[in-house]
Amino acid sequence: MKLKEGDLEFHFTNAIDAIIFDQMKPKEDNFHGIAAMHRVDFVVELEEAILFVEVKDPGHPRAQQEGLEKFYNELVDGTLGDTFKSKFIDTFLYRWAEEKLTKPIHYLNLVTLDDEAQTNNLTDEIIRKLPPLGKNTPRWKKQLFENCQVFNLEAWNENFPKWPVIRISSQAGAQ
């Protein structure tokens, strides 16, 4: 199943279902309908797990200076980490209400930075911000997610050969 976000195309080759969760066009399938809730880009159902997938593309070849400045400012001041947190929590609630949370969840984020030190750092920041906020939770019987991690394009493709991502503009240019 193929899903597009801007200039990036994902192919979830072993998915049972894969939807654009951030669908805000009323006439399209899977219309979300609550603009005030944060939303991840895709929700993917696999045989044994569910993926929440969020994409940020500062490495877009036609990224505008203004947008890049905003992205990096938000990366530095923690706003980006807050956004990733909110997207997960609101998506979790929405899918819970839909009774769709029947399998372990993996929160996978593709952020097209070159530097893997930065993506590792962002991973830690998002995990710190998500419940249980780094605290011990002896009363909890479940955890919100199995894995929460940020990848750059290269690391994503290296780690998930069954879910390859291509940059559409570079493919078009190659033809």
User: Which residues are near another protein by CB under 8 A?
Assistant: 46, 48-49, 106, 114, 116-117, 119-120, 123, 146-147, 149, 151, 155, 158-163
Q: How far is CA 38 from CA 3, 17, 33, 89, 146, in A?
A: 19, 21, 11, 8, 21
Q: How far is CA 122 from CA 140, 148, 155, 162, in A?
A: 25, 10, 14, 24
* Least distance (Å) between residue 1 CB and another protein: 14
Query: What angle do the packed helices 65-77 and 79-97 form, to 10 degrees?
Result: 80
* Least distance (Å) between residue 51 CB and another protein: 8
Residue 150 has phi, psi (to 5 degrees) of -110, 135
Q: Residue 136, SS3?
A: coil
Identify which of residues 155 and 166 has a Cβ nearer to another protein in the complex. Answer: 155
* Least distance (Å) between residue 57 CB and another protein: 19
Among residues 112, 94, 156, the alpha carbon closest in space to that of 6 is found at: 112
Identify which of residues 20 and 51 has a Cβ nearer to another protein in the complex. Answer: 51
Identify which of residues 20 and 50 has a Cβ nearer to another protein in the complex. Answer: 50
* Least distance (Å) between residue 125 CB and another protein: 14
Identify which of residues 21 and 156 has a Cβ nearer to another protein in the complex. Answer: 156
Size of the chain in residues? 175
Identify which of residues 69 and 116 has a Cβ nearer to another protein in the complex. Answer: 116
* Least distance (Å) between residue 172 CB and another protein: 25
Return d(Cα 53, Cα 30) in angstroms, integer: 16
